[in-house]
Amino acid sequence: MTGIDDVVLNFSPGSLMILNTVLAIVMFSVAIDLKPSDFHRLVHAPKPLITGLISQFVALPALTYCLVLVMHPRPSIALGLILVAACPGGNISNFITHRAGGNAALSVSMTAFATIATIFVTPFNIAFWGSLYEPTREILRRTAIEPMTVAITVGLMLVLPLVLGVMLNTRRPDIAARIRPMLQWISFGIFVAFVLLALAANWAFFLHFAGAVALLVILHNTLALAAGYGCATLAGVSPFDRRAITIETGIQNSGLGLVLIFGFFGGLGGMAVVAAFWGIWHAISGLALAAVLNRTEAAR
């Protein structure tokens, strides 16, 4: 079978549009938990938020680069790990933080701020860390990826739904409260179903190459959780906030990763398999961690 660096997975333009729409709905379902006052409160006590963003956008990409240097994976796998690390926290992080007895309000706010920062930080991190490793630098040289195009994609898919969700919760909190529980479960279910259908369309490739990425993704996810815990501990935030930062760093928006992979990297096999496996594994590890943490109450 063709090598993983040469495989292009099946993903039609129509499927990409559906994924964009699903992620926009998921982001909207997160945003209707937010009010402008949530942002004001963080301005006056910003340390947990700043710690989380540093963990997410500085510590995790740096640790990912170290992992790539130590493990020397195939170039497309390496770039897939770098791209996932450059994405903001995943939307299910808010649900998992709540299950873990952590600061869910901080988690939601981190998702919001990280989503806005993604417009600028994600293209930079992909280009910066990807260019430091020679094999991935070659892929970036062959790829016509414009930071402004990435910014527009992220803006329409994540930031616009975020703004609309906050506006709805501010102006019509009665409607937001009524649709919130249903919308969050439905959007999460649709996203999971979509990922499974995308995997089914490429099942032979996924089965053949999953073994090549499984250990790396598990190590990478472990590093992400450790980065969140370590940064929160060094910053001296409360255990309540530390749980949120740990989970927010360990749950990445692999759906956004897939959009970028199929939109700008032509569905390159190693990258796509990494993002897809991340989408499955981080939910498993996050829920397992939440079950352990939920046994004890975190001090605030």
Q: What is the pLDDT of residues 133-164, one digit of tens each?
A: 999 998 888 776 667 777 777 777 778 888 88
Fold type of domain 13-293: Na+/H+ antiporter like fold (1.20.1530)
SS3 of residue 251 by DSSP: coil
Q: What is the pLDDT of residue 1?
A: 39
User: H helices of the chain, where?
Assistant: 13-31, 36-44, 47-54, 60-71, 75-86, 92-99, 104-132, 134-142, 147-154, 160-171, 173-201, 203-235, 239-250, 254-264, 269-293
Amino acid (one-letter) located at 37: S
Per the CB < 8 A criterion, the answer to whether 125 and 85 are in contact is yes
Per the CB < 8 A criterion, the answer to whether 205 and 268 are in contact is no
Per the CB < 8 A criterion, the answer to whether 165 and 27 are in contact is yes
Q: What is the pLDDT of residue 13?
A: 56
Least Cα distance to 262 among 52, 10, 6, 38 occurs for: 10
Which pTM was predicted?
Answer: 0.84
234-282 pLDDT, tens per residue? Answer: 999 999 999 999 999 999 988 788 888 877 887 777 888 888 888 878 8
Q: What is the pLDDT of residue 163?
A: 86
Q: In this prediction, what percent of the chain has a pLDDT beyond 70?
A: 84
Domain map of the chain by residue range? 13-293
2-14 pLDDT, tens per residue? Answer: 455 555 555 555 6
195-232 pLDDT, tens per residue? Answer: 676 666 666 666 677 777 888 999 999 999 999 999 99
Q: What is the pLDDT of residue 194?
A: 66
Residue 192 vs residues 23, 92, 162, 280: alpha-carbon distances, Å: 11, 11, 20, 9
